[in-house]
Structure 1
Amino acid sequence: MKKWIMLWAMGSCVLGVFAQHPAKVSELKKRYVTYPFTDPDPIASAQKLYPYFRFDGFTNTAIEKDWKTVILENDYIRVQVMPEIGGKIWSAYDKVNKRDYIYNNGVVKFRDIAMRGPWTSGGIEANYGIIGHTPNTSTPVDYLTQENADGSVSCFIHAYDMLSRSNWTLEIRLEKDKGYFSTRSFWYNANAVEQPYYTWMNLGVAAGQDLKFLYPGNQYIGHDGDAHAWPIDSQGRDLSNYSENAFGSSKSYHVLGAHSNAFGVYYTDHNYGMARYALREDKLGKKIFLWSQAGDGKIWENLLTDQSGQYVEIQSGRLFNQNVPSSSQTPFKQLGFAPYQSDSWTEYWMPFSGIGKPKEIQLSAAIQIKRENNTLLLDLDPKRPLKDSIYVLDSIGTVLNRSFIEAQLGEPTRLSLMVATDSRPRYLKLGQDYFNLRTDTSWSKLNRPTVISAEVSSDTGQTKLLEIRDLIRFRQYTLAEVKLKELIQHGATSQTYLEMAKMAWFKMEYQQCYAYARQALSMDTYDAQANYYYGLAAIKLKKDNDALDGFEVASLNPTWRSASFVQMAKYYYRIKQYERAGDYIAKAVVANPLNIDALQMDVLVQHKKGAVTDRLSHQAILQYDPFNAFLQFEEKKTFSSRQEFAAEKLMELAIWYADLGEFESATDLLRSGQKNTEALIWLAWLTRSNKSISQEWLNQATQSKPAFVFPFREESNQVFQWAKENSKSWTIDYLTALLYRFRNQPQKAREILSAVGQEPTDFAAYYALKSSLQDTSRIDLAVQMMQQATLMEPQEWRYGLHLVELLNNSQSYKEALKVSTAYHRKFPKNYILTLAQVRTLLLGKEYMRAEKELEEVTILPFEGATEGHRYYVQTKLMLAYQFILEKKYKEAKLKIAESRLWPMDLGVGEPYADEKNEILADWLELHLQQGNNPGNPDLLKKIAQRKPSKNRYELMLRKLAEEQLKLSKGEGSAAKKEDLKGMIPSDHDLFKRIKEGTLASYWPELIRKIYFEQDQRLF
């Protein structure tokens, strides 16, 4: 059979005549309209966020600001990076089609969305740590630019993450002759213990009614791991079309169920789209995030940009979903980041056009294919210059057609290939890429289970243990410890004792860690993790032989081998047996070639042995971590960093040196950097062999103010204990208490502060900490401490806020209102204080005043919080209730109607009708209309058919509405036992009172209980 090929250009050929120039990288200042953030929180944050602090100052008033930008550019693409805003890839511009293919926000508009508050929409955001959005998302990171020998250019960005004590580096690379750019991630756990594992890339694209999601798969899972059909849902809607998502609230689809390397979006009206390509083992997860298309989503458009329009996020992750703790009840549990584990992966981000919705995307091209009898019609959008043989293959690799293609990047091209009529083409080979030609999707279907087998009980010890393990990985240590203690009472396994050992390590209780690990080994002597933690605890307890024994046995397991050899190398290094240390370093590197700790130690050992430094270890480190602080210091005896927490990165390296007994290097390093109180105490400890110098450092430490100093590393504990023995100072006790509080020992922290003799006279955060540590039975002491804080720093509004909360919790409503009013007057534009004022007025039954405050306030929304609207509804319904008692039914009806409104100034947009929770308004309106009648059937039906709620008090109202509906139809009342089914005993009396129908006997309690359960931020 004669083969033939026909090629012609479909699009513009203007770039085809260009010679390819080297890619360029440049730095410049670019002016943006900016809505800045301010106001860092000086109070130590809760355990999950600690040691980071939040920013709470946001504004609607813009300024002009020059931002440092890095531009990477070739003939086809221009990429902009913002190193002062988390290193975000701000935009990617397609020069061929003259449009942004990644959402380009025209303003820098910080809003309260990330874990630390400020966040900007659009671009590509790299997230590493425990949860999105990374703590560095809006603050400066380290960066450098590089022109590479092959004509490509790179911009590296880097940050140290304190939550996981890990380091991440992202190389953004643009080649001279490619129609895409790549991002190579390198993430390293520098800890001796496991850390949480979370990493996702979040990319913004412009929303539009013609937007279609190209997400291969047959199911999606939520954050909770529950599985649903994809793309056609149970209502027949095609969820892959943006336009068919005009229902419900904001959405997160983690799509799975198909084997594919690419996903993206396509704009049908523009014959244009973009895709992300990666090897599947590098990035398993693919997610879509959509704001609601109702008012509760549209409100974010103007909040996050001025004129750039609404956006959608497409995201890629190492795991299948961004799981929350409830996902542990499904197959999609939480992964741990093993000690000294290093992960690296690469992704590619490209536009495509002119070929319709692509059938498949590879690095050489995006293609669309149709078969007409014996002809294959291929539309290609090349992503590199094509001058290649092209093969059509069957399922076993037999060549059915071989032709040649020559096409320029940026020129969509059509290719016609003839094949035998009875042939079955399966693959198209172009260069090194294989495109699957099958027209059906069944070939890519996966059979991975998405639900736990029915034979597996959710109440087994193993299931509960996995839940506890994941809670630890989520940093929910308090809850994990409670559940561990409950579980161990019903019989322990080796894995139970292992988790107890991990918890004891976190709490810095090394004797207990040793004992629990030993218990685990008594059940399974070869358990690698138990041996490893046994070794770690033994090192702390100076049981050297036990430590070596643990690590030696742990090394039998490949997963724990490299970490175990590192620990053994460190042991021999400390006792100056450098040859043996070197032997174990070599073994550690064989087991994990990217073990940065081992590579750094290799450099040290070579120095100690007087050998000529082998550059292999240097090169291995720099290839992935060009910001490596160790190499900086070893080669230049200096440390340079531009990231927000540069001092903490420096501290991390100093502690690494100290752990190896290299006190002089640790001292030199700390002396060269910013010296906060913790660093000064470390300097005193490091120089303790020279008493005069050590005392000088200690004096400086105790005379300094520990503002925004939040110790979190276990290594600091022994240093603080030594300092306490050598100096009586509240400063040392304060830092020690902070460390113990974080390490799940609040009682120990409370004891430390209770024993302080001379307390500070000018440091309010000390008293805020002391207040937070008081037992719930001594709220009077908590109030007293917070009052002291307000007197010391009257300009810090948060102390007043916390005092109001404490007074409200102790039901001292009049005193709370006095404090709340004073702070509200002092900071009239602070909407957080206004919300506290409204809540205090509601608790004090001053509903008219609360209504007036809500009429005047303007709240900038923050993601996931709806207090403003909730207080509005509560205020209106309580006013309606008062009018009903006063028999002012017209006024009551008006307030009920107002409660159904959604004033924009309260920071929450109006959702779709079926998403509104108006059950309380319906119930009150029912009471208003009811009189001596059994009830308005339409309202009863509306209440009974309300969207299911997890709030048990709302379920009460639904149950009663169903019962009254039956009565209205003459079907009789349900049995009393059925009435009470599923309720807890304390609710029986309330249910009875509601059923009796006397509004005054139950309404205030009902509304308080419902809103208490709904609102966890200020209540």
Structure 2
Amino acid sequence: MRIDATCGSVFRAWRIRPLLLWATLLTLAWSLLGCAPGLSAPAVLNQAETIAREDARRPLPQHDSSAPIVTVEVRAATPIYPGDPVTIVVRAISQEPVDAYRLAIDDADTGWRAVKRLPGGLLSFEWTAGEPGSYVLIGQARTTAGAVGEGRRLLTVEPPDSSSSQSGQPGSRPDPTAQDTVIFYASSVTLPTYPFAEYQSQAVDPAYRWPYRRFDRDRFWQQAPQPSPQTYQLLILENRYLQVLILPELGGRIWQVLHKPSGNRMFYQNNVVKPSPWGPPQQLGWLALGGLEWNLPVIEHGYDWGTPWDYRALQESDTVASVTVATPRDGRLLHASITVTLRAGSASLEVAPTITNLSPDELQFDYWQTAMLAPGTGNRPSPDLHFVLPGQLMTVHSTANPDLTGPTLLFTWPHYKGRDLSRLGNWREYLGFFEYPAAHGPFTAVYDPWYDAGAVRIYPPEIMRGSKVFGLGWENALGSDLFTDDDSAYVELHGGLAPSFFEQARLAGGASISWQEQWYPVVDLGDLTTANANLALHLARTADAFQVGLYPTRPLNGVINLLADGVPVARRAVVASPEAPFQGVLPVDGAILPQVQQWQLQVEDQQGQRWISYEMSDPS
């Protein structure tokens, strides 16, 4: 069967079942007429979607391969029910020009569609969800030289009564449509899960009285067990701009933050629970599930990345809701408690950890947070992903790159030996490094211009003195089959109490340490230059102007001022919000550009409150 996609038209693809065959043919004929309406605005991504497992051992495509890297993006309300609209986008990363795309939904196939006939050069569809069940989505891209790349995704349509809400009523959940509302509710997600518990044995780290489970990696790979569906509890905080998903049974992690206006995801999201060969050497089996995880009391992801954490949810009011996750009080000497708070009218998430030494004696320990990131909708970074670190000197932790032999090699940032190492596509192999001699702060960020999306972390560097970056590489990247069953990938931003893995934090007996961070997704900036708790800024200079992009974490109505050596030279009114970021131009007299020693950009609201002030000598 074929399904038409001429001119990016809307189509409806149903599984071929006897009762639906006639409806399918009518829908196909309607689509072939080319009179379908345009695509709807992106919606919140489906969190119950899982990854097709037919290619369980497929290696990560290489950047220098002739075949394009293909992603199949799904945008829909969560969860998906029969009759719901679902937007499906097929796109590709390729060194060679892509001349055609193709999409199959089970037995329905578009055939090849020329890029020149597709609006925006991408294959975009609206599909009406069929009856409950799993649907295999296969996207393909073909280059002008004939090389074909493929990406797969398994989409699940739930029965109408399968969802749950805070009230316990099936098929419904609160709808925070008002700007002054935030809600908490509970749901669940079903993920293909490898039986890794069958390959674990009990162990204890005596230094911290910390119980953990040791993974028998060799036996797991020899027996090659297959995954089966398992349902996990999902805790959800939601307001007008963000949907925050927490998995208490899998390390209490923030699994995902969805930017609702765009449908973008901030974190990498592994839709299969699969043990990797990484983790603490004495434990192994780390689950690269994605999101933001809490790692203690040892380095390399700690011990409790995949265990149940205690939790408590608190709906303080219509404007504030939070979830606190915590390690069990079972005799271990350290205790971690992390409170995740979402406020109404804000596109920023508050994260407030507290680490307590329950013993009478001083303890040396490790605490790191690991954020696995793939901002946008493709669930893998592009080669243009850009790391934004304020520091100028880094030190290697680990790498396979011969130009950065380490560990502890110092290198300049962002340029080293003629390469811009802030760009992922310039990495040949995997690389991990720390800001040196400690975290610069007060922010770190990543931005992927290909998806026009990013993520920002705001933190206190006087407390969180460690800042680490890790990536799988690009040309010779670590294979995604090590941790998932598709070709998805990620980069990592770490934050720690100690400056690096080569040092430890100290805490006196009975003492605690607490701090607060902010995390938020960013969209529609083009790139990212700097950020604070109020907004993310992109600034680029041309021959006679400055290009400015602003993404505020709450609505802004104010003014942009540009100063040259302290003298105002340009001014522009600005209205922006998390739903509608600002991009504009500030013209300047080209004759004065070479004479200016210091530029300053200021953003203020109508009450005169300064939202950001950024100084630069050469922002181009």
Structure 1 position 259, deviation (Å): 4.3
Change (3 A) 1:61 1:365: same
Match of 1:436 in 2: 614
Distance across 2 between alignment mates of 1:207 and 1:419 = 35
Matched position secondary structure for 1:38: helix
1:171 lines up with 2:351 in the alignment: no
Structure 1 residues 395 and 196, CA, compared in 2 at 3 Å: closer, same or farther? farther
Q: Distance in 1 between matches of 2:466 and 2:210?
A: 29
Q: How does 1:78-97 map to 2 (within 5 A)?
A: 78-97=243-262
Distance in structure 1 (CA, Å) of the matches to 2:543 and 2:396: 43
Match of 1:229 among 412, 418, 427: 412
Distance in 2 (alpha carbons) for counterparts of 1:74 and 1:66: 25
Confirm or deny that 1:380 pairs with 2:550. yes
Matched, 1:303 2:477: no
SS in 2 for 1:90: strand
- Tell me the alpha carbon deviations over residues 836-856 of structure 1, each in whole angstroms, 9 at most, x when there is no partner: xxxxxxxxxxxxxxxxxxxxx
Q: 1:242 aligns with which of 421, 424, 430?
A: 424
Which residue identity does 1:408 align to in structure 2?
S
* Aligned equivalent of 2:357: 189
- Deviations 1:725-755 (Å, cap 9, x if unpaired)? xxxxxxxxxxxxxxxxxxxxxxxxxxxxxxx
Q: Structure 1 residue 153 and structure 2 residue 321: aligned?
A: yes
Q: Partner residue of 1:125?
A: 293
State the AA in 1 paired with 2:416.
D
The code of the aligned residue for 2:583 comes to R
How far apart are the structure 2 equivalents of 1:28 and 1:13? 22
In 2, distance between residues paired with 1:373 and 1:380? 21
Quick one: distance in 1 between partners of 2:360 and 2:214? 31
Q: Which residue of 2 aligns with 1:537?
A: none
Partner of 1:413: 582
Query: Could you tell me whether the CA contact under 8 Å between 2:546 and 2:585 is conserved in 1?
Result: yes
SS in 2 for 1:321: coil
Q: 1 or 2, which has the higher strand percentage?
A: 2
What residue ranges of structure 1 are gaps of 5+ in the alignment?
1-11, 324-332, 443-1019
Secondary structure at the residue paired with 1:289?
Answer: strand
Decide whether the 8 Å contact of 2:364 with 2:505 is kept in 1.
Answer: yes
Provide the rounded CA distance (Å) in 2 between the counterparts of 1:428 and 1:260: 20
Matched residue, 1:208: 382
Whole-Å Cα distance in 2 between the matches of residues 44 and 203 of structure 1? Answer: 27
Q: Which of residues 231, 252, 261 is equivalent to 2:432?
A: 252
More off after superposition, 86-95 vs 305-314:
305-314
Q: CA deviation at 1:48?
A: 5.8
* Aligned mates of 2:207, 2:279 — CA distance in 1: 14
Q: Deviations over 1:394-442 (max 9, x none)?
A: 778x877776533232212135557895775424143443331314489
Superposed displacement of residue 201, structure 1: 1.2
Equivalent position amino acid for 1:104 in 2: Q
Equivalent-residue separation in structure 1 for 2:180 and 2:560 (angstroms): 27
Given the two structures, how large is their TM-score scaled by the length of structure 1?
0.37
Give 1:140 shift: 0.7
Residue aligning to 2:393: 219
Does the 8 Å contact 2:244/2:258 carry over to 1?
A: yes
Provide the C-alpha distance between the structure 1 equivalents of 2:187 and 2:515, rounded to a whole number of angstroms. Answer: 29
Deviation at 1:254, TM superposition (A): 0.9
1:336 paired to 2:506: yes
Whether the 8 Å CA contact 1:211–1:243 is kept in 2: the answer is yes
> 2:143 corresponds to which residue?
none
Query: Does structure 1 retain, via aligned residues, the 8 Å contact 2:314–2:321?
Result: yes
Contact 1:118–1:138 under 8 Å retained in 2: no
The structure with more helix, counted as a fraction of residues:
1
Alpha-carbon offset, residue 30 of structure 1: 1.6
Q: Which has the larger radius of gyration?
A: 1
Give the match for residue 225 of structure 2: 60
Q: Is it true that 1:279 corresponds to 2:460 in the alignment? A: yes
Instruction: For residue 160 of structure 1, report the CA deviation from its aligned partner.
Output: 4.2
Q: Judge conservation of contact 2:419–2:426 (CA < 8 Å) in 1.
A: yes
Secondary structure at the counterpart of residue 108 of structure 1: coil
- Equivalence map 1:598-997=2 (5 Å): none
1:339 Cα shift? Answer: 2.5
1:362 aligns with 2:532: yes
2:348 maps to 1:180: yes
1:513-552 paired onto structure 2 within 5 Å: none
How many residue pairs match? The answer is 414
The 2-side partners of 1:230 and 1:263 are apart by 14
- SS at the partner of 2:425? helix
Q: In 1, Cα distance between the equivalents of 2:332 and 2:297?
A: 6
Q: Distance in 1 between matches of 2:203 and 2:246?
A: 32
Q: Residues of 2 paired with 1:40 and 1:120: CA distance?
A: 14
Relative to structure 1, the CA distance from residue 139 to residue 101 in structure 2 (aligned partners, 3 Å threshold; closer, same or farther) is same
Matches of 1:307 and 1:62, distance apart in 2? 14
The answer for the alignment partner of 1:668 in structure 2 is: none
Structure 1 contact 130–196 (Cα < 8 Å) conserved = no
Amino acid across the alignment from 1:62:
P
Residue identity matched to 1:89: I
- Name the CA shift for 1:231/1:88 in 2 (closer, same or farther; >3 Å): same
Give the 5 Å matches for 1:565-580: none
Distance 2:483 2:513 in 1: 33
- Equivalence for 1:820: none
Provide the rounded CA distance (Å) in 1 between the counterparts of 2:436 and 2:518.
Answer: 20
Equivalent residue letter for 1:198:
D
Provide the secondary structure at the position in 1 that maps to 2:426. helix
C-alpha displacement at 1:64, in angstroms? 0.9
Q: Check conservation: 2:599, 2:617, Cα contact below 8 A.
A: no
Q: Which has the higher contact order (CA 8 A, sep 6+)?
A: 2
AA aligned opposite 1:304: F
Q: Cα distance 1:49–1:292, how it changes in 2: closer, same or farther (>3 A)?
A: farther
When residues 42 and 120 of structure 1 are mapped into structure 2, their CA distance, relative to the original with a 3 A threshold, is closer
Q: Distance in 1 between matches of 2:345 and 2:534?
A: 11
CA positional deviation for 1:180: 2.4
2:349 counterpart of 1:349? no
- Whether 1:267 and 2:448 are equivalent positions in the alignment is yes
Q: Select 1:290's aligned residue among 471, 480, 488.
A: 471
Q: Tell me the CA shift for residue 376 of structure 1.
A: 4.9
1:256 deviates by 3.7
Question: How far apart are 1:296 and its partner, in Å?
Answer: 7.7
Measured against aligned partners, the alpha-carbon deviations of 1:289-336 in whole angstroms (never above 9, x if no partner) come to 1235577821xx12321236122212122232122xxxxxxxxx4342
Separation in structure 2 between the aligned mates of residue 314 and residue 292 of structure 1, nearest angstrom: 14
The C-alpha deviation readout for 1:51-102, integer Å capped at 9, x for no partner, is 5243335453111111011111222221111000110111122222222121
The secondary structure found in structure 2 opposite 1:134 is coil
Percent identical pairs in the alignment equals 24
Q: Secondary structure at the match of 1:302?
A: helix
Per-residue CA distance 1:643-674 (angstroms, 9 max, x = gap): xxxxxxxxxxxxxxxxxxxxxxxxxxxxxxxx
Q: Distance in 2 between matches of 1:46 and 1:196?
A: 14
Q: Partners of 2:266 and 2:367 in 1: how far apart?
A: 23
How far does residue 282 in structure 1 lie from its aligned partner after superposition? 3.7
- Deviation (angstroms), 1:198: 1.8
Tell me, in whole angstroms, the C-alpha distance in 2 between the residues paired with 1:399 and 1:409.
28
Secondary structure of 1:124's partner?
Answer: strand
Once residues 484 and 568 of structure 2 are traced to their aligned partners in structure 1, the CA distance between those partners, rounded to angstroms, is 53
Task: Give the 3-state SS of the residue equivalent to 2:548 in structure 1.
Answer: strand
Q: In 1, distance between residues paired with 2:529 and 2:519?
A: 17
Q: In 2, distance between residues paired with 1:303 and 1:14? A: 31
Distance (Å, rounded) in 2 between the aligned partners of 1:74 and 1:130: 35
